[in-house]
Amino acid sequence: MTTILTVEKVCKQYPGVTALDHVDFSLEQGEVRALLGKNGAGKSTLVKVLSGAIRPDSGVIAIDGRPVIFDRPQDAFHQGISTVYQEMSLVPGLTVAENILLGRWPMRRLLGISFVARKQIMQTAKLALDQLEVEIPLDELVAHLNVAQQQLVEIAKAISFDPRVMILDEPSSALPSEEVETLHKVVRRLAAQGRAVIYVTHRLQEIPRVADSVTVLRDGRHIGTIPVAEATPEQITTMMIGADWQRTQWRRDAEVGEVKLAVKGLNRAGKLHDIAFEVRGGEVLGLAGLLGSGRTELLRSIFGLDAIDSGEIVVKGRPIAHPSPLTMKANGVGLTPEDRKKQGLVLVFPVRDNLTLASLHRVSHGGILQPAQEEALAQEMVANMAIKTPSLSVTTNTLSGGNQQKVVIGNWLNTLPDVLIMDEPTRGIDIQAKEQIFTLVRDLARQGLAVLFVSSEIEEVLDVSDRILIINQGRITGAVTHDEITLEQLMALAMEELVP
Ligand SMILES: Nc1ncnc2c1ncn2[C@@H]1O[C@H](COP(=O)(O)OP(=O)(O)OP(=O)(O)O)[C@@H](O)[C@H]1O
Ligand SMILES: [Mg+2]
């Protein structure tokens, strides 16, 4: 085997955090390496060092045995390293094709004037998307795509560089399972062509399908690299978290109380048809459905983000005349959004502010903010959710992706809503943190909260919910309780073809 990439004793320090601590790492031609670790373990930092986005404090990176220094991402490109970052880097106002070729639009000269060679952009972009075998219109604005489509465009962009080493930082966390399979195929194809791939993920079940070997980081240190045959979920969990960790079995003993949220005859042309259901206090109601089944549309309509054509939304017995995020919040409904960057966080604000944004009334008196109370509320949430941050004052964009996601959820939990709507809350969250979040949610349910929960991981929906609605082509096609269904049955129901 031929080693393409070697990393020796790489260190990276941030104020108050050792992100990488003498990390050794090497990658063979044709190898897919899964990179794992808890939120804040240093995965993205290693990715950024390898892609020239940041300079390590010390250590050596070598390509084909020759030491290299990356001052800028372009230096890494020239060495054949192409990266899909965890936080998306597309320009919303440009088209799909323009984004794929961003920064290297081909030019054409006519009568001494330079023009962008549109046709060539389209051709090159099409080639990249064809490799992914997905249908996304090349001339669509990226702003009009959903998160999954945007992620696929990012990947197409990275492929278009024809890299020797492809780095994917959580490429699957924003993708529904149907698309994840296509992604795996593409990754295996890249490896079969003799390229090497680094694949960061929190979904342990994809490892045997996509990877040859697994590297685990913990607290910035390289804990070990093992072949995929040895990488059982138990082994990986032990390497990530330590041997003493035990899965918490949350209690399902909350008393089911009053109806907190009722949806009646809800219609939205072409998207949602005659949706009706209730969620009671003490209850976690899951929504199971595939991409495009109407899950997100339903949550958005309930929260007033999208207009409805007919139907009624009733909160604690009171019909909401004009649902809007503002009126819903005023009535005790919270929504943790699918896309944390767009709807969830002010990234340049300190962690403290982002944890209390939605609950300022709890830490103010007579309209005046009480800093000590705000500090205490934020601190409590950092402890409860084990948010990894050197302090409450650092800006939120310095936190790792998963820890930013915890801040979004913490912000809404702090509002003490009566109804909490969670759209993909566990995206990019490590297995231990997931359980912490679910434990918190179950505790709140015991205090009377009603939860409406959506995840593209059906396993997770089954795990956390008391009751599950199956949504298919914009219709509720079934309702089951946690105890009366297996995962296989639930998946089959969610995927059932509807007879028109
Ligand atoms: N720009 C920065 N400034 C300060 N601290 C940072 C910065 N970037 C990362 N860190 C810190 O470095 C540590 C490692 O972060 P990193 O993003 O590499 O984690 P990760 O393993 O990718 O986690 P996740 O699974 O949540 O994405 C974290 O404690 C994080 O807060
Ligand atoms: Mg990361």
**CA-nearest residue, atom 27 of ligand 1:** 401
Per DSSP, the residues of 313-338 read EEETTEE-SS--HHHHHHTTEEEE-S
Architecture label for domain 3-240? 3-Layer(aba) Sandwich (3.40)
Tens of pLDDT along the chain (500 residues) come to 799 999 999 999 999 899 999 999 999 999 999 999 999 999 999 999 999 999 999 999 999 999 999 999 889 989 999 999 887 788 999 999 999 988 777 677 777 777 767 788 888 899 888 888 888 999 999 999 887 788 889 989 998 888 999 999 998 887 877 778 888 988 999 999 999 999 999 988 899 999 999 999 999 999 999 999 999 888 998 999 887 767 666 667 767 899 999 999 999 998 999 999 999 999 999 999 887 788 888 999 999 989 899 999 999 999 998 899 889 989 999 998 877 666 677 888 999 999 998 888 888 888 888 999 999 999 999 998 889 999 999 999 999 989 999 999 999 988 889 999 998 888 888 988 888 888 888 888 888 999 999 988 888 898 889 999 999 989 999 999 988 888 888 888 888 766 55
Q: What is the pLDDT of residue 366?
A: 87
Ligand 1 atom closest to the CA of 47, numbered from 1: 18
SS3 category, 230 = helix
Helices (H) and strands (E) in the chain, counts: 16, 24
Sign of the C-alpha dihedral, residues 190, 194, 200, 206? Answer: positive
Write the DSSP symbol of residue 37: -
Contact 280, 260 (CB under 8 A): yes
**CA-nearest residue, atom 24 of ligand 1:** 39
What is the token pair recorded at 478?
């079934």
Contact 402, 433 (CB under 8 A): yes
For residue 12 and ligand 1, the question of a CB distance below 6 A is answered with: no
Distance set, CA 326 to CA 142, 267, 305, 333 (Å) = 27, 21, 10, 9
Q: What is the CATH number that goes with domain 259-495?
A: 3.40.50.300
**Distance separating alpha carbons of residues 22 and 294, to the nearest angstrom:** 47
SS3 category, 242 = coil
Task: Give, in degrees to the nearest 5, the angle at Cα 43 between 437 and 290.
Answer: 50
Ligand 1 atom closest to the CA of 48, numbered from 1: 18
Contact 96, 46 (CB under 8 A): no
Specify the amino acid at residue 459: E
Q: What is the pLDDT of residue 249?
A: 67
Q: What is the pLDDT of residue 345?
A: 78
Could you tell which of 11, 36, 45 is best to mutate to test the pocket of ligand 1, judged by most ligand atoms within 8 Å of the CB? 45
SS3 category, 488 = helix
Centroid of ligand 2 to alpha carbon of 84 (angstroms):
11
For residue 399 and ligand 1, the question of a CB distance below 6 A is answered with: yes
Q: What is the pLDDT of residue 167?
A: 96
Centroid of ligand 1 to alpha carbon of 40 (angstroms):
5
**Distance separating alpha carbons of residues 129 and 102, to the nearest angstrom:** 15
What is the token pair recorded at 124?
């090159």
Task: Report the greatest alpha carbon distance in the chain.
Answer: 78
Residue intervals of the chain classified under CATH 3.40.50.300 are 3-240, 259-495
**Hunting for tokens 């295996």 — which residue is that?**
188
Centroid of ligand 2 to alpha carbon of 17 (angstroms):
15
Residues 6+ apart with CB under 8 A from 357: 346, 349, 411
Ligand 1 atom closest to the CA of 394, numbered from 1: 4
SS3 category, 476 = strand
**CA-nearest residue, atom 29 of ligand 1:** 40
Could you tell which of 11, 39, 44 is best to mutate to test the pocket of ligand 1, judged by most ligand atoms within 8 Å of the CB? 44
Could you tell which of 10, 12, 13, 17 is best to mutate to test the pocket of ligand 1, judged by most ligand atoms within 8 Å of the CB? 17
Specify the amino acid at residue 249: Q
Centroid of ligand 1 to alpha carbon of 252 (angstroms):
34
Q: What is the pLDDT of residue 251?
A: 67
* Count of other CB atoms within 10 angstroms of residue 226: 16
| Nearest ligand, CA 39 | 1
Phi first, then psi, for residue 234 (nearest 5°) are -65, -45
